[in-house]
Amino acid sequence: QVRLVESGGGSVQAGGSLRLSCAISQDVIGMNYGYWFRQASGQEREGVAGINRLGADTFYADFAKGRFTISRDTSTLYLQMNNLEPADTAVYYCAISRSLTFSTRNMNYWGRGTQVTISS
């Protein structure tokens, strides 16, 4: 059963913006932490941002600070990405966990990913 489904990826020029969404199925909606990760070609998957269940606490990778914003409502995770750069090109994944962690190994569920491509 698919628990998470990402959408909103696409191709934009450098300096543009995208808003990613991740629909969360009802049976896992109560998990405390939501995350966005990304994986560029030939690279390890890396954490982008995280948020707790109530949305009061957020945390970001250094490359995301000041440009990306994670948020959530009752059934969806979001990632607003502004001032995009070619280095942001990657497949973006949402994930959820009962734990506060930025480790890919500790995620309980993953989405299948959405491609983001930034051109110069």
- Give the pLDDT confidence score for residue 100 in this predicted structure: 86
Question: In angstroms, rounded to a whole number, what is the distance separating the alpha carbons of residues 9 and 113?
Answer: 9
pLDDT digits (tens, 9 = 90+) for 40-61: 999 999 999 999 987 889 999 9
* Residue 80 tokens, joined: 């607003």
- Give the pLDDT band (50/70/90) at residue 18: very high
How far is Cα 88 from Cα 84, in angstroms, rounded to an integer?
A: 6
For residue 53, what pLDDT is reported? 82
Q: How far is CA 18 from the centre of its chain?
A: 12
Mean pLDDT taken over the chain: 94
Question: Would you call 21 exposed, middle or buried from its count of C-beta atoms within 10 A (0-12, 13-18, 19+)?
Answer: middle
Mean pLDDT of 107-115: 95
Closest CA to 95 of 40, 31, 42: 31
Helix-, strand-, coil-residue percentages of the chain, each rounded to 5: 10, 50, 40
The structure tokens listed for 25 are 């199925």
Given pLDDT bands bounded at 50, 70 and 90, which one contains residue 30? confident
Q: What is the pLDDT of residue 101?
A: 85
Q: What confidence tier does 32 reach under pLDDT thresholds 50, 70, 90?
A: confident
Cα of 50 vs its chain's centroid, Å: 8
Report the share of the chain in percent with pLDDT over 90: 82
Share of the chain above pLDDT 70, in %: 100
